[in-house]
Structure 1
């Protein structure tokens, strides 16, 4: 393998990918991660070029300190880009710690630039630690494709291992270092470093496609007005729960805004949309994060309360009615008291199909409307006890004393 050819191809690839990432950033300035990754490619290319020029009479601070500093900044920019991409919130204290660690590494490299072996050791350890942090942060990212995540993590971990091996070789061959501050045996680690960096540069643009795919997926699953799950996604989640947790009890709720047509006729459809959004926000706030809520059409919502007993589900329904009724909602320039009606059914998935539960909850919602609205009606699966029959318990009215 002709090493100069490999280096030339690697640097050309990194430069091309860096330009592509920078063009992505110019197209979408809000995605600063692409700019940081472009800087990473540029840092690697410049640092590697200065390393190649070491046989020539250049100042040591340029061919050693600046070169190794640029090679260290390459993974630092990758890490910073992952922070931006993942929307990971660093506290001010963590930012300060990261800056201090980077400053310390650069200071150590500055103090040792006249000793190539020591400089190479500090740079290798610093780069290895940075790639370990990249692999750890990737675990918390928003990437939903597990195969790609594991692949990129594997590249980062492999890169860290290569850097630690290089540091070990420097320590073991301290008296036999070449011009670059490396032992002759480290030619393979150097080659691995170049190839892994190039592979990282090639994988980073895929993150842009995964991010776009994630946005399109979320858009197809969310209601455009309320940002809740849309009808199709809610029923998909409902069926999936039935398959994955067949013995775990749940409650299905159908929820409807009372007298919504009157709001539309009085204030107009724009104000009606505000009412739909306000109720959606209140429902989301009251339900648990693992419960599923969706807007299934017009002013109607559906909710799946996961792993819940019958009495607790009933209390949750009453609390929802209470919270919506107590909340004054600004619609245009007027304050309006909104109320909701709820029909619900408690079910164990193995005993009844999902759509049968939805049907019973919808019948209970109709019973709530017939009973005067602002109520919760609980249905059962007994053929003799459908909502509206006398055997059904009276709809539970909204109570100011409910907690």
Structure 2
């Protein structure tokens, strides 16, 4: 295909995708990534157009410095949009470092713009580094769909590799650079860069759609009041653990707020809801991140403590009782004296049936209630006859 036609079609596609992304942003202003990615497409199109105009009598400040700044801003905006999907914390200090780095790179571009070869190397290295950062952020992404994230990561790394090859070609052909500061042999890297940029622009919106899908999935799996796993999702996780970790010991806990009806009747349902939420928060804080915990009924919770022996599980249960009694004596200005009762059974999944374990932990919880509440009862697993 005719090279100018390929470039023109790619730039037209980028422009249309940028316009589409901006319209998506206008429809969903909270998704700032669409605005940033639309800016990325527009910067790439404008920068490429200025590069094309280099043979004409334009000031070097426009056709070299501004053009290459715009070409660098394209992946920078991609990077900024990806932060929304990452577990990476972009603090105020890191933001300041980012702006300072951009300002320093722009200064280097300005100083070297009369030297097209040097500028080409700097631009290529800066763009390669930025796309490597994009791939790193995807590695930390909250999006867990592996096929898509790996595909986009591959595209980013190919971008970086193409830019590094371009820089290497400039160095190897230093004596034969054209007006763009590039050797003739770099035409294929330029085409690859343009096509990869177009592919990136087409793939990026899927991140937002996958994030929405993840949000809806989490909403269906979480209890609305406590944000713990709901009953259905808790037992799904339990079944998965039994299947995948059959030889790893665990402790199954049933946990219930003592005299909860009295709290509701005395202080009202708003305080009751607050009590449920506060107990859930404390349990989550006290248990490990790999333990499974859920709200399975009104004021009732269940937890599976992973890879733990019986004595330690009993101590954990006692600590939970102590912490609830200590930290939740008051809710606001009201003295509610919240306590919990716990039933525990120690299990080895390949030997013990999970339904039976659940029943035994529930019976142990009832025994804790009968023993005066605010206590832990350890059940011994006895197979059903």
Q: Give the TM-score normalised by the residue count of structure 2.
A: 0.95
| 1:115 matches 2:104 | no
Please give the alpha-carbon distance, in whole angstroms, between the structure 1 residues aligned to 2:128 and 2:283.
47
Please give the alpha-carbon distance, in whole angstroms, between the structure 2 residues aligned to 1:206 and 1:87.
18
Tell me what 2:127 maps to: 127
Please give the alpha-carbon distance, in whole angstroms, between the structure 2 residues aligned to 1:291 and 1:268.
32
Please give the alpha-carbon distance, in whole angstroms, between the structure 1 residues aligned to 2:329 and 2:201.
51
Gapped regions of structure 2 (runs ≥ 5): none
Please give the alpha-carbon distance, in whole angstroms, between the structure 2 residues aligned to 1:319 and 1:282.
11
Instruction: Indicate if the aligned counterparts of 2:47 and 2:71 stay in contact, CA closer than 8 A.
Output: yes
* 165-174 vs 302-311, which moves further: 165-174
Instruction: Indicate if the aligned counterparts of 1:31 and 1:85 stay in contact, CA closer than 8 A.
Output: no
Cα 1:273–1:58 shift into 2, 3 Å: same
Q: Give the TM-score normalised by the residue count of structure 1.
A: 0.91
Tell me what 2:30 maps to: 30
Please give the alpha-carbon distance, in whole angstroms, between the structure 2 residues aligned to 1:182 and 1:285.
58
1:228-264 CA distance string (max 9 Å, x none) = 0111111111111111111111000001111111222
Tell me what 2:381 maps to: 381
Instruction: Indicate if the aligned counterparts of 2:87 and 2:140 stay in contact, CA closer than 8 A.
Output: no
Tell me what 1:268 maps to: 268
Q: CA deviation at 1:101?
A: 2.9
Matches within 5 A, 1:258-297: 258-297=258-297
Q: CA deviation at 1:147?
A: 0.9
Cα 1:329–1:48 shift into 2, 3 Å: farther
Instruction: Indicate if the aligned counterparts of 1:33 and 1:85 stay in contact, CA closer than 8 A.
Output: no
Please give the alpha-carbon distance, in whole angstroms, between the structure 1 residues aligned to 2:136 and 2:88.
12
* 348-357 vs 302-311, which moves further: 348-357
1:185-238 CA distance string (max 9 Å, x none) = 111001000000001101110011011011011111110000001111111111
3-state SS of paired residue (1:343): strand
Please give the alpha-carbon distance, in whole angstroms, between the structure 2 residues aligned to 1:365 and 1:376.
8
3-state SS of paired residue (2:161): helix
Instruction: Indicate if the aligned counterparts of 2:360 and 2:379 stay in contact, CA closer than 8 A.
Output: yes
Please give the alpha-carbon distance, in whole angstroms, between the structure 2 residues aligned to 1:298 and 1:185.
70
Q: Which runs of 4+ in 1 moved over 4 A?
A: 329-333
Matches within 5 A, 1:4-403: 4-331=4-331, 334-382=334-382
Instruction: Indicate if the aligned counterparts of 1:120 and 1:167 stay in contact, CA closer than 8 A.
Output: yes
Instruction: Indicate if the aligned counterparts of 1:82 and 1:137 stay in contact, CA closer than 8 A.
Output: yes
Q: CA deviation at 1:96?
A: 4.0
1:18-68 CA distance string (max 9 Å, x none) = 222223333333332222212111110110111122222211111111111
* 311-320 vs 10-19, which moves further: 10-19
Cα 1:127–1:244 shift into 2, 3 Å: same
Please give the alpha-carbon distance, in whole angstroms, between the structure 2 residues aligned to 1:63 and 1:32.
30
* 338-347 vs 259-268, which moves further: 259-268
| Cα RMSD after superposing both structures | 1.8
Q: CA deviation at 1:299?
A: 0.6
Instruction: Indicate if the aligned counterparts of 2:24 and 2:34 stay in contact, CA closer than 8 A.
Output: yes
Q: CA deviation at 1:383?
A: 5.7
Please give the alpha-carbon distance, in whole angstroms, between the structure 1 residues aligned to 2:173 and 2:134.
29
Tell me what 1:394 maps to: none
3-state SS of paired residue (1:305): strand
Alignment length (residue pairs)? 385
3-state SS of paired residue (1:351): coil
Instruction: Indicate if the aligned counterparts of 2:330 and 2:337 stay in contact, CA closer than 8 A.
Output: no
3-state SS of paired residue (1:337): coil
Q: CA deviation at 1:332?
A: 7.0
